[in-house]
């Protein structure tokens, strides 16, 4: 049975339940399987040896998620040996169209729509909406979680500076 954590996040003043464990700094990063644009399965292990920036968003088809993805795409271009992945419940085809239209070339998008594997493993699956909460995780090359932000109000962006500082410290270590 999946762990349920009530009242962790809100959207427009309404509290929601997250399914999955609370991931903390120092935890071993959970494995997951999500779909790439060509419907191939992608796992955390696929980027082993790199620092990973894992960004969960509710949907690329919303203004905050759009702006967040564009910002991290710009920042990712400045980093080396970092794999930046945006994960949502959007279908892979919709993610592909978004990336093409928005000129997103420096990050990977993965779809969690099939099994909610990422959402459940990282504790960011919104039970009532079957969407992912807005969250940012930095996972080092040894699969240890180095930074976690679960954004309290889903309609607000993450703390870009804190996430990027944590990422740069690990990427340059």
Q: Which stretch of DSSP H or E encloses residue 118? A: helix 117-121
pLDDT band at 12 (very low <50, low <70, confident <90, very high): confident
User: What amino acid positions are annotated as catalytic residues?
Assistant: 65
**pTM for the complete prediction?**
0.95
CATH of 4-171, one of 3.40.50.1000, 3.40.30.10, 3.90.1150.10, 3.40.50.2000: 3.40.30.10
pLDDT tens for residues 16-67? Answer: 999 999 999 999 999 999 999 999 999 999 999 999 999 999 999 999 999 9
pLDDT above 70: residue 131: yes
Residue 54 contacts residue 137 (beta carbons within 8 Å)? yes
- Please, which residues bridge with residue 96 across strands? none
Q: Where are the domains of the chain?
A: 4-171
> How crowded is residue 38: how many other Cβ atoms within 10 Å of its Cβ?
8
**Arithmetic mean of pLDDT, 102-123:** 95
**Arithmetic mean of pLDDT, 158-167:** 92
Distance, in Å, from the CA atom of 7 to the CA atom of 13, rounded to the nearest integer, reads 11
CA 145, 146, 151, 152 torsion: positive or negative? positive
């Amino acid at each position: 049975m999946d762990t349920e954590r009530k009242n962790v996040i809100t959207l427009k003043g309404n509290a929601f339940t997250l399914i999955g464990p609370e991931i903390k700094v120092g935890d071993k990063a959970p494995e997951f399987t999500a779909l790439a644009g060509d419907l191939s399965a992608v796992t955390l292990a696929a980027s082993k040896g790199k620092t990973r920036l894992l960004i969960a968003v509710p949907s690329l088809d919303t203004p905050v998620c759009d702006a967040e993805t564009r910002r991290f795409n710009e920042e990712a271009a400045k980093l080396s040996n970092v794999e930046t992945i945006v994960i949502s419940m959007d279908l892979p085809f919709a993610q592909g169209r978004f990336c093409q239209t928005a000129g997103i070339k420096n990050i990977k998008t993965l779809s969690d729509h099939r099994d909610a594997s990422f959402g459940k493993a990282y504790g960011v699956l919104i039970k009532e909406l079957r969407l992912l909460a807005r969250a940012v995780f930095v996972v080092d090359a040894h699969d240890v979680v180095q930074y976690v932000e679960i954004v309290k109000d889903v309609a607000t962006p993450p703390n870009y500076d804190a996430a990027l500082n944590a990422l740069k410290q690990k990427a340059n270590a």
